[in-house]
Amino acid sequence: MGNKLKNIGLIGLGMLAGVAASMQFDAIAQKNVGAPLPIDELRQLADVFGLIKSDYVESVEDKKLLTEAISGMVASLDPHSAYLDKKAFKELREGTQGKFVGLGIEVGMEDGYVKVISPIEDSPAYKAGLKAGDLITRLDSTPVKGMTLDEAVKKMRGEPGTKITLTVARKDEDKPLFITIVRQEIRVQSVKSKLIEPGYGWLRVSQFQEPTVEDMAKKLSAMYEQDPHLKGLVLDLRNDPGGVLPGAIGVSAAFLPKDSVVVSTNGQLPDSKQTFYARREFYSARANGDPLSKLPEAVKKVPLVVLVNTGSASASEIVAGALQDYKRATVIGTLTFGKGSVQTIRQLSTDTAVKLTTARYYTPSGRSIQAKGIVPDILVDETAEGDGFNSLRLREADLQKHLLNEKDKVAEDAAAGQIDELEEEKRLAALEKKRKPLEFGSKDDFQLAQAINFLKGKPVQVAKPKLENKATGDGSLSDKKLEKKEKSSDKK
């Protein structure tokens, strides 16, 4: 197969690798593994440690060696298990809480520079006058050219109250602008909504955070106050990389009958074998009531479309899978990422932890999404011309050491023999460079327009025919067009 494009951006809330886990937090417990320690292998590890200490060209700190050994051991398991040092653990906690310290801008890369896609309203960047389309060429005195987006993001983050000066190139300005911004804690709402037109609403969840269920309930209630007679609603989960599991359960529960099974999990430990229902105790820890209790009854019956793409992962797939299984919604878009595993955070010390894959999750009908994804009921490309950059994104099945789908009897190398796609990928990448980034919910949002057409009973422009996916034998999908993973923007 041809080369697949790697990430050009990360989500902006400190989540790892651009693919947020369906996370559960748990303190580490002493468990009897029931097997003797492998003494010979541990002795070998100690011998290698000693060799490095005595023979390596430079002196290496004990802490660094041991930390890297732990990190490598965990990372060897699968793409989503990781050792979290102090910084990584702090960023993960900030991400799930919907806050981070930085400037408050959503960015991407363009021609080697950081491009401002949008400043977050009322953020330091917004107040300092940064505008969509600005190109950031220097961070303090350091040129951006040559940096990765991740490196630039890290440099823009920092401690609250510290300053950074951005050199900005702006269209229609003859000279560069020098804008100094004070870093602050940024709080981001993961839910957006608006009426696309009378009778038809759009509700977008960009990431599942701790406040997501409450924020969604407020947005839905406000939408029904604006238009009490909604004829259709679009739940937009495109490019939503996942997040905390209770958020996914709560969003599903808003549209499903009470006590419906939303998702189940199964793993090695007894506490990993669980079933989660559409009940308050599974999605809200609030002591003062159920955030969904004041939603209009019409929410349970309004015709619903769920929009997904290859950037929809983990918790997004839980929601899409549950609503699809109950036939509560029609899923429209492209094949999702395929992350069907649960990560549990086992805290090791005050500021370090291990993020460990502990279970696979299953939709209410028992489907495992791992390495397969959610297949839309109606395949619709990203644009009228085709699937665009979405087709170049990596998917779970493309990641090295990915967890296999236990129900999948196809070997990992079953895709061998497919046509070489490199030239097609180069062609699509070149086209994408000429196309402005898609703003979800805008008048140019082709998939949203098709979702509204579906709700109105009008014709929908379905995806162009794809090649047969030889890995799965599913002629309705294409490894060439649909099965890859990417994130195109970030927030700092």
Could you give the residue numbers annotated as active site? Answer: 314, 325, 339
Q: Any idea how long the chain is? A: 492
Mapped onto helix, strand or coil, the DSSP state of residue 154 is: helix
Ranges assigned E (strand) in 231-351:
232-236, 243-244, 261-266, 274-277, 304-308, 330-333, 341-347
Structure-token pair, residue 131: 């505008």
In degrees, rounded to 5, the angle at the alpha carbon of residue 137 between the alpha carbons of residues 135 and 138 is 135
Given its phi and psi angles, is residue 56 left (phi above 0), alpha (psi -120 to 50 degrees) or beta?
beta
CA distance 131 to 115: 10
3-state helix, strand, coil split of the chain in percent (to 5) is 25, 25, 50
Structure-token pair, residue 265: 């999990």
Pairing mode, if any, of strands 177-182 and 163-169?
A: antiparallel
Pairing mode, if any, of strands 22-27 and 341-347?
A: parallel
Pairing mode, if any, of strands 353-362 and 82-84?
A: antiparallel
3-state SS, 392-416, equals: HCCCHHHCCCCCCCCCCCCCCCCCC
CA distance 35 to 14: 37
Pairing mode, if any, of strands 330-333 and 243-244?
A: unpaired
Pairing mode, if any, of strands 22-27 and 243-244?
A: parallel
Buried b (16+ CB within 10 A) or exposed e, 266-288: ebeeeebebebbbebebbbeeee
DSSP state of 27: E
Pairing mode, if any, of strands 232-236 and 304-308?
A: parallel
Distant-in-sequence, close-in-space partners of 348: CB < 8 Å, separation ≥ 6: 28, 354
- Amino acid in position 264: S
Structure-token pair, residue 39: 């003494």
CA distance 75 to 317: 24
Given its phi and psi angles, is residue 18 left (phi above 0), alpha (psi -120 to 50 degrees) or beta?
left
